[in-house]
Structure 1
């Protein structure tokens, strides 16, 4: 007699995340879709998930939004042998049209782990404090690392991580420093923020706010640190991924792009796997975006709930941030010859606020620039392709590759790397309005008609000093908005974007709203202002480059600015000394200045 729906649903509700994922994949492979759906329904009824945001996504009854959101508007079968898993032959049945959705939805049921009420704030400082308390037990008594602890609690333990990083160590039950509160806090963060979860809810789990004002997923960050500590970098792909294993047919690849032969474990467990799977999922459901968006915390001082700013995708910004940080830190660790510092110390230094001197620093503020320096697009394309070739042979992900030929797979890798590069490496990171705690726009904003033809450069003059940290820049943004709304009577802060000296742009009226920055020309171009008085001094070179090299390129690539755009200083359009003599002389050298 086969398993009943109640029995299978109970198994999903009780088992750990890793075992749950493996179990769900087996259900997807072995059971008809109608039975899978019944199992999922029984699981909801048993677990209470029907009261959550997942219930809204599937059934249309929405959990009330909190006041902050309203205010802003805005393991599977197989055996490890000689470092590689012996895999069963892929199934031959054709996947039903509902198959990918059922798989994604069933997987999301495995990931609904939340911290209890009264838990620590979801901030990187909380993570560092917990690790500082736990690390002496790990190194002094049982010789485990923080990534070992993370994997023991359920992080980074898919088939792919098992193959590339080794089997997860057994987690001891008697760590005196790992109190119930600390264990619950870490467990709530270390459930992998898989694409399935991102597609199932606008509330994102497994992420923390970091001091620079951005949000980071912990799983890819620790996976990269693990790979770096183990110095797991370039290794040959297993025979099954290259077509010589049972059930794998790459015979049609001879006329297409050359197949990669190696895989870099650091890239695979951080960005390459996630990027490849995200674009693969869009193949099954073309209405879903592959990447983004960013999101908002309910409370910047005491963050607990993180809500996405748009439709969920398989790869939100927080996962990308964690992956980039994982690669940057992992690459640095892999090159060290001296014993590494504790992970808590590494994280504290990497996410420290202030004292920026420019790109090249191993600091979170420069994650995009530092990752780009490590990862040319062509190399990233090869790593995504390698990850997909390996994933199509693994039980947990094999079903997603049904009907995907090798040339299409390589094309997906190319598309993923190209779009990722344009969106996240060539564009500057922009802190959204909700994160600097903007007031609402007064009235109804007027929409810009894109693409625009002009960029108008300003300086704020007051505040007169550059801001060098997220708290400083956010406070400056709030002060300017109050001045513009209360003293000038404007609807909002006047600028479209504001440039901090912390490595970030700050969203004012953004890409689509007409600003109040250049009288008579507000609907013709974007107003971008540097925080500070630049009459006699210049912003730091990396701050200038944010607009000159990245913002302008990004605006053109996104069809927001015409390719033959014109750059003007504010003084050219009216009676003002803005943007200051020193800054005006600088922009006279920029491409597009007239």
Structure 2
């Protein structure tokens, strides 16, 4: 679903008019890119054009994907304005003002960097998975021998190009460069668009890392789409069709779960245990063997390189694969807090489970969930006279959690106990039905363990239903029966 007020008009104008970011009419929304890509699909390989415009052209990328083709000097079906649009998207960078460039707003309310996304698609289209490492990159003490090499020692060790050009290289480098300065940000943060209806500028919420949330989203999507393309037989569907199915449709091959709002779960399902760390090690080995990047490894011993890969993958897994994706307040257009919030004293000991009751129907898309969040905040602030939406976090049926008062501020969710725990509410009425299975998983398996690792709640936390603390039917009979099976329920 497009978030523009007039999707067709906005995209149509955007194809013919381009001004600098923040001043133009071409919206930085995935639907705009899909429209351009669909125009190009009939004429050339879009990923080749993307690389010609500056995507994935490092020495590392050229080794794994081949030499980047030159961008066609003139394409009668692509205006200079459209080429400027694509060129802008292919160069991911963060300005001193914390405006992140090379990113697009998605229909699901998240933001994706185009560079790693296109790199993964290119690797998938080429079927470039296992590429032999050059002899100078091999370090026997660092490379785990594969079973095939034990049987056939003459077979070369390989690197999976799909993981390397999307996430493995950047993950390893980010943590390698941060080693001398432990206070340096390694991953994140998320950011805010100036408008969810007319997105033109995306500003980060804190100091930037090499791996912003948008970059990681792009990398995960690049792996998922690249893997999908690599196993498809020729002829493949046009790239525009692929992007539309994944970002704005029913999912790849009609599978509703194979779409961007389930990227974390789908990446985990694709990635075997230990594979990512292995690919980070091999990416660092390749970088160390390439002339342009070899100086990065001056004074870095083998044990340190292994430690960097291990730490990088562990922290990445904790933060982006095992924790739930949370939509920040700015994206659902929260109104400001009234008055001065009271800070929680962490870690907390309790989590209180709620259902909203009203709205009674689960929200299935970002626009629906964002509207429900705004409606709840308005009711809580104007009708009940509270300072803000009462819940700490809210769970949609779109694959995401939504930030209410968040991790640090006392809520208004469980009278008499607001300072003792977080209030987590499922959108919908769950007297006779249960939330979607994936929504339950987000809280039971992801949110609770994530909160423990982040020292937000104690390891021996207690889960209560709202009705245990206050005279109410909340969180509904079926949901209350469900949470009684959860670890920590008392």
Length-normalised TM-score, structure 1: 0.75
CA distance in 2, matches of 1:534, 1:134: 47
Q: 1:119 to 1:273 in 2, by over 3 A?
A: farther
Q: Is the 8 A contact 1:190 1:218 kept in 2?
A: yes
SS of the aligned residue for 1:501 comes to coil
- Match of residue 117 from structure 1: 23
2:103–2:113 Cα contact (<8 Å) kept: yes
Matches within 5 A, 1:417-428: 417-428=313-324
- 1:383-398 aligned at under 5 Å gives the runs 383-398=279-294
Q: 1:504/1:356 Cα in 2 relative to 1: closer, same or farther (>3 Å)?
A: farther
- TM-score, structure 2 length as denominator? 0.91
The answer to whether the 8 A contact 2:51-2:68 is kept is yes
Q: Distance in 1 between matches of 2:307 and 2:342?
A: 40
In structure 2, which of residues 246, 251, 258 is the aligned counterpart of residue 350 of structure 1?
Answer: 246
Residue 351 of structure 2 is matched in structure 1 by 455
Larger radius of gyration: 1
Query: 1:413 and 2:313 equivalent?
Result: no
Q: Offset at 1:403?
A: 1.2
Structure 1: runs of 5 or more not aligned = 1-112, 139-144, 244-252
- 1:488 equivalenced with 2:363 (yes/no): no
Among 1, 22, 37, the alignment partner of 1:131 is 37
Matched, 1:151 2:51: yes
Give yes or no for the alignment of 1:539 onto 2:439: no
Asked whether 1:160 is paired with 2:60, we answer: yes
Counterpart among 283, 287, 295 of residue 183 in structure 2 = 287
2:247–2:259 contact (8 Å) kept in structure 1: yes
Cα displacement string for residues 349-388 of structure 1 (whole angstroms, at most 9, x for unaligned residues): 1012679999982200100000011113411100001111
Deviations 1:175-234 (A, max 9, x none): 11110111111111111x2xxx44855111000000000000001001100000111111
Between structures 1 and 2, the one with greater helix share: 1
Q: 1:435 to 1:540 in 2, by over 3 A?
A: same
Q: Give the secondary structure class of the aligned counterpart of 1:455.
A: strand
Query: 1:171: how far off?
Result: 2.1
Q: Which residue pairs with 2:262 in the alignment?
A: 366
For residues 261-272 of structure 1, the aligned pairs below 5 Å read: 261-272=157-168
CA contact (8 A) 2:191 2:205 kept: yes
Once residues 419 and 529 of structure 1 are traced to their aligned partners in structure 2, the CA distance between those partners, rounded to angstroms, is 28
Q: CA RMSD in A?
A: 2.0
Question: CA–CA distance in 2 between the matches of 1:360 and 1:533?
Answer: 23
Instruction: Give SS of 1:235's match.
Output: strand
**How far apart are 1:287 and its partner, in Å?**
2.6
Matching residue of 2:78: 178
Match of 1:169 among 69, 74, 92: 69
Kept in 2: contact 1:515–1:522 (CA 8 A): yes
Alignment of 1:129-528 (within 5 A): 129-138=35-44, 145-191=45-91, 193=92, 197-198=93-94, 202-243=98-139, 254=141, 258=144, 261-352=157-248, 361-528=257-424
- Separation of aligned partners in 1, 2:331 and 2:232: 36
1:107-143 deviations in Å (ceiling 9; x for gaps)? xxxxxx95583241100001001111122121xxxxx
| Distance in 2 (alpha carbons) for counterparts of 1:541 and 1:355 | 18
Give 1:467 deviation, angstroms. Answer: 0.3
Deviates more, 1:565-574 or 1:386-395: 386-395
Residue by residue over 1:426-448, the C-alpha shift from the partner in whole angstroms, topping out at 9 and shown as x without a partner, is 00000000000000111111111
Residue of structure 1 equivalent to 2:453: 557
SS state of the match for residue 136, structure 1? coil
Q: Match of 1:528, SS?
A: strand
Q: CA deviation at 1:540?
A: 1.0
User: Within 1, Cα distance between the matches of 2:243 and 2:255?
Assistant: 18
CA contact 1:228–1:331 (8 Å) conserved in 2? yes
